[in-house]
């Protein structure tokens, strides 16, 4: 692919995003604007920015690579992500939107600590903050790794230099504005990702010879396990593979960068419209990328790294200009998640931990330094602790969902609990989500993905009959 064409296209694209970011940042007047866009998010911006932030590099690069590797059983991953998204939009969203609006809560931490008081509240805030910052550092590192792979495969740069360049671009872009700027630009990026999920599968289908060629070709290059919906496993083990794949979506329920979109919605009408738009986007992009992985196995049955499939297909199936646009889609997936997580990280440091209140004259400086700190840490992780994008994102995704998801459901269901029990639940979910993958391996990773969430919820359930102490 002509690197000059790619570079020119990417520069124009980045310039357009910067221009939109500058325009949107002028609307940021106070903390409500910076963290929640003044609670004025409309349906299209809410749906597209939510979707783009949820998908990230793991969908375009990771999911297509996993489908290439595993075969048709990867469809369960797409199904799990879609089902949990529906639960989030149709059950969590209306309750969280009204709850936080009525109490003027600006961050997810505000909601999670709610009426806790005294030392337990302080400990709970600190625990939530540490978990978010650690998880987002790993998550953002995965996005930087995706950006690094994009630049390395396109321009032939070293992976370390590519990661650094990608991080600098994302850092500069993120520092332009707050939540509103991020949401508007994420909407553009989400639209580009949806366009990619249409163009690439169609091109791949044509390349393999249409539906008949796809079916025959997949059968020819795949093993029996890759053609099985249970990954070649039978009985309870096969069921475990399916449930474990579906359970990947459980992380949706605890992602701060997604849940703040619900808190920022303009009204119920916008929420309902956004829910259906998000449903269509998920079906298009997630299942589209699984198809790309399956078709890619026919076209390129031997790949050293399955996560490079997207780049390989882009280069072989498209004119350089269209290929550059699709590469911009990868950067969109990366930026739309990284910038959202950096804004949430800034809210944790400046609002939740109260550093901005201690330095009222330096609030924006504190915010920018917190963003820069996460960026530096993420670059170090991406460069010195390389890992598969899918694996790194999945670890942080499941950990956040297991830590915060049970407590979110509990509070929104109208149940009360003490800060001490909330701390125990969060530690159980997060601790097991980190520890189990290091010690246990089960088909579909069902134990590693379901047990942390289930036991964290059980901690809350066990204490349901205990009356919470008002000071706890």
Domain spans in the chain, listed from the N-terminal domain onward: 3-116+124-389
pLDDT band at 390 (very low <50, low <70, confident <90, very high): low
Give the mean model confidence (pLDDT) for residues 355-371: 74
Task: Map 260-271 to HEC letters.
Answer: HHHHCECCHHHH
Question: pLDDT tens for residues 33-62?
Answer: 667 777 888 999 999 999 988 887 678 888
Q: What is the band of 2 on the pLDDT scale with cuts at 50, 70, 90? A: low
CATH superfamily ID and name for 3-116+124-389:
Sodium/glucose cotransporter (1.20.1730.10)
Tokens of 137: 């550092």
Q: Report which DSSP code applies to 107.
A: S
Handedness of CA 355, 260, 167, 45 (dihedral sign): negative
pLDDT value at 403 more than 60: yes
Cβ 155 vs Cβ 3: under 8 Å: yes
Q: Distance (Å, rounded) from C-alpha 319 to C-alpha 329?
A: 15
pLDDT tens for residues 176-235? Answer: 667 777 788 788 888 888 988 999 999 999 999 999 999 999 999 999 999 999 888 888
Q: Mean of the pLDDT values across residues 367-378? A: 84
125-131, long-range: CB < 8 A, 24+ apart: 125/352, 125/353, 126/353, 127/423, 127/426, 127/427, 128/348, 128/352, 128/404, 128/426, 129/348, 129/349, 129/352, 129/353, 131/399, 131/400, 131/403, 131/404, 131/426, 131/430
**Residue pLDDT, tens place only, 280-295:** 999 999 999 999 999 9
DSSP-derived 3-state class of residue 468: coil
Instruction: Give the separation between CA 158 and CA 44, rounded to whole angstroms.
Output: 38
Calculated CA dihedral for residues 251, 463, 426, 262, nearest 10 degrees:
50
Average pLDDT over every residue of 353-370: 75
Q: What is the pTM of this model?
A: 0.87
pLDDT tens digits, residue range 112-162? 998 788 888 999 999 999 999 988 888 888 778 877 877 787 777 788 888
Q: What does pLDDT average to over the chain? A: 85
On whether the CB atoms of residues 271 and 94 are closer than 8 A, the answer is yes
């Amino acid at each position: 692919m002509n690197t000059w064409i790619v570079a020119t296209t990417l520069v124009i694209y980045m310039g357009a995003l910067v221009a939109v970011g500058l325009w949107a940042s002028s609307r940021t007047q106070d903390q409500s604007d910076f963290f929640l866009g003044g609670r004025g998010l409309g349906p299209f911006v809410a749906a597209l920015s939510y979707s783009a932030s949820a998908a990230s590099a793991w969908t375009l690069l990771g999911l297509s690579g996993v489908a290439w590797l595993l075969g048709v059983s990867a469809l369960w991953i797409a199904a799990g992500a879609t089902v949990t998204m529906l639960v989030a939009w149709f059950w969590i969203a209306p309750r969280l939107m009204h709850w936080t609006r009525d109490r003027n809560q600006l961050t997810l931490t505000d909601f999670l600590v709610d009426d806790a008081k005294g030392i337990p509240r302080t400990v709970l805030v600190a625990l939530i903050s540490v978990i978010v910052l650690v998880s987002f550092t790993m998550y953002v590192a995965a996005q930087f790794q995706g950006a690094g792979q994009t630049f390395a495969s396109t321009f032939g740069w070293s992976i370390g230099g590519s990661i650094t360049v990608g991080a600098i671009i994302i850092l500069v872009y993120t520092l332009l504005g707050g939540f509103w700027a991020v949401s508007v630009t994420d909407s553009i990026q989400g639209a580009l990702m949806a366009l990619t999920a249409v163009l690439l599968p169609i091109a791949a289908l044509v390349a393999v010879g249409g539906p008949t060629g796809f079916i025959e070709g997949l059968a020819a290059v795949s093993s029996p396990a890759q053609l099985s919906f249970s990954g070649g496993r039978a009985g309870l083990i096969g069921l475990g593979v399916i449930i474990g794949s579906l359970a990947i979506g459980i992380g949706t329920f605890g992602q701060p960068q997604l849940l703040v979109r619900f808190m920022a919605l303009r009204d119920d009408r916008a929420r309902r419209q956004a829910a259906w738009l998000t449903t269509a986007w998920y079906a298009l992009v997630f299942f589209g990328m699984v198809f790309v992985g399956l078709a890619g196995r026919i076209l390129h049955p031997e790949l050293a790294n399955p996560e490079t499939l997207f780049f390989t297909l882009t280069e072989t199936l498209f004119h350089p200009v269209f290929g550059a646009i699709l590469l911009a889609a990868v950067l969109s997936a990366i930026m739309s998640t990284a910038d959202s997580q950096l804004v949430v990280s800034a809210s944790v440091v400046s609002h939740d931990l109260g550093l901005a209140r201690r330095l009222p004259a330096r609030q924006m400086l504190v915010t920018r330094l917190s963003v820069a700190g996460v960026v530096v840490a993420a670059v170090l992780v991406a460069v010195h602790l390389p890992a598969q994008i899918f694996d790194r994102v999945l670890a942080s995704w499941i950990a956040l969902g297991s830590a915060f998801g049970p407590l979110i459901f509990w509070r929104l269901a109208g149940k009360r609990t003490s800060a001490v029990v909330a701390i125990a639940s969060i530690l159980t979910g997060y601790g097991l989500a980190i520890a189990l993958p290091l010690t246990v391996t089960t088909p579909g990773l069902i134990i590693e993905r379901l047990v942390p969430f289930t036991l964290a919820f059980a901690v809350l359930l066990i204490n349901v009959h205990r009356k919470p102490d008002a000071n706890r």
